Amino acid sequence: MEYLPNIIFALALIAGIGFFARNVKKLTRNIKLGKDVDVSDNKSQRWKNMARIALGQTKMVVRPVAGIMHVIVYVGFIIINIEVLEIILDGLLGTHRLFSPLGSIYDFLIGSFEILALLVIVAVVVFWIRRNIIRIQRFIKPEMKGWPKTDGNMILYIEFVLMVLFLTMNAADFQLQQLGAEHYHEAGAFPVSQFIVPLFDGLSESSVIWIERTAWWLHILGILAFLNYLYYSKHLHILLAFPNTYYGKVKPQGQFNNLESVTKEVKLMMDPDADPYAAPAEEDAAEPEKFGASDVMDLNWVQLLNAYTCTECGRCTSECPANQTGKKLSPRKIMMDTRDRLEEVGKIMDANKGEFVSDGKQLLNDYITPEELWACTTCNACVQACPVSIDPLSIIVEMRRYLVMEQSAAPTELNNMMSNIENNGAPWPYNQMDRLNWVNE
């Protein structure tokens, strides 16, 4: 029975990581439902972007208050992981504070973890106040009702509790060290949790051990649970921000892709030698490619990765000229809808042995309305604002393409504009022969 805790710990760890791996597999499968897109270019620029934007948080600090708070939570998350490593090894090996032979380095590490933990608590409280008391505009937009709001708060609660457990565990440990309890040799520095110690005054050694063990177990089990919460949450960004900034747009923001399928057809149309009655070549006999996107499978996989990476911060929406002037378009909603629909498609596949069976729904109309799509000015403010290189505009354009090229469903004025271009080479009904008249007016 001596090894019972070790075994329980190992089982919990395997379960936690195993369940997470299963979700990662599902996540990867869903992202791969997207069309292929060539992202093998500009490798060094891509690595730089990842280092600068994800690792360096450069776009977060554009808004200093939220940015600096976020950096604290982010650094806290990364650094405290060293402590999690120790906890995992202790749990498996039945040791206590395995890294303590590092001596003064260990003291320094534990001390800085404690300070970070306190700062994380402060940041999390500030975040909560911003969301729930100050109610900053971008957190209370219509798309944030229900689960997104709960999710946002839930993350803050979990982080708060984890940090409190971490500090409680350290405080109890510190108390036990001073009491000279068995196994609790002197190790670590406790600049923050020392202030919790007086709460344990008068408690017996066994009670304090019980507190220490409980906090230790809840802390690590909480971390494993949080890991598995990610897939269901906007918090997935802590992992996906890295690949997403790598695969993000490296071309000038104004450059939209040219559809190759269209190029082929236009070249054929303009080729005077082409035989319009020729039988289609063997490989063309397949169903003609759909132009634009009406559902998530029509988007490319980077756009789907974008959707899973979105952490619903709403910076895009708060910079969007359409949204600012009361239109229905919200770039954040475009991303949230894409993810929700993709999840729905994934669930249908799970229920049908990996095959997608149409549910009569699609991204267009059932999630995103044409009214939203047509309100976009393609100004790229949303793309610029995103701290993790998400491109909502590319999805909007892809869906406009479907509306126009597959459904001829552009607003009437735009149809007029386009027939003008077709007929006289200008968006207005002026004769091409008058193009030079401005010189003499």
Partner 1 sequence: MSEQLKVKTMQEFMAEGKQPEILFWVGSAGSFDDRAKKISRAFVKLLNKANVDFAVLGTEESSTGDVAKRAGNEFLFQMQAMMNIELLNGYEIKRIVTCDPHSFNTLKNEYPSLGGNYDVLHHTQYLKELIDKGRLTLTGDGYKGKRITFHDPCYLGRANSVFDAPRELLAKTNAELVEMKRHKKTALCCGAGGAQMFKEPEKGDMDVNVLRTKGALETNPDIIATGCPYCNTMMTDGIKAHEKEDSVTVLDVAEVLANSQGL
What is the sign, positive or negative, of the torsion defined by CA atoms of 119, 125, 126, 127?
Answer: positive
Count of Cβ atoms closer than 10 Å to residue 397 Cβ: 17
CB of 254 to partner 1, least distance (A): 3
d(CA 367, CA 359): 14
CB of 53 to partner 1, least distance (A): 14
Closer CB to partner 1, residue 122 or residue 426? Answer: 426
Closer CB to partner 1, residue 94 or residue 425? Answer: 425
58: tokens are 């450069």
Closer CB to partner 1, residue 341 or residue 401? Answer: 401
d(CA 436, CA 425): 13
Q: Measuring CA to CA, which residue among 310, 401, 316, 313 is closest to residue 364? A: 401
Alpha-helix residue ranges (DSSP H) falling in 192-236: 205-229
Beta-bridge mates of residue 300: 35
CB of 304 to partner 1, least distance (A): 20
CB of 284 to partner 1, least distance (A): 17
Closer CB to partner 1, residue 217 or residue 374? Answer: 374
Closer CB to partner 1, residue 76 or residue 292? Answer: 292
Q: Is 221 exposed, middle or buried (0-12, 13-18, 19+ CB in 10 A)?
A: middle
Closer CB to partner 1, residue 6 or residue 378? Answer: 378
With beta carbons less than 8 A apart as the criterion, state whether 416 and 385 touch: no
d(CA 107, CA 113): 10
Closer CB to partner 1, residue 227 or residue 404? Answer: 404
Count of Cβ atoms closer than 10 Å to residue 14 Cβ: 10
CB of 375 to partner 1, least distance (A): 4
DSSP classification of residue 155: H
CB of 385 to partner 1, least distance (A): 8
CB of 314 to partner 1, least distance (A): 15
Beta-bridge mates of residue 364: 368
Closer CB to partner 1, residue 23 or residue 420? Answer: 420
CB of 401 to partner 1, least distance (A): 4
d(CA 172, CA 197): 7
What Rg value do the Cα atoms of the chain yield, rounded?
28
- Given the rule CB under 8 A, which residues bind partner 1? 251-256, 258-259, 262-263, 265-267, 269-270, 291-292, 319, 321-322, 324-329, 371, 374-381, 384-385, 397, 399-405, 410-411, 413-414, 416-418, 421-422, 425-428, 430, 432-441
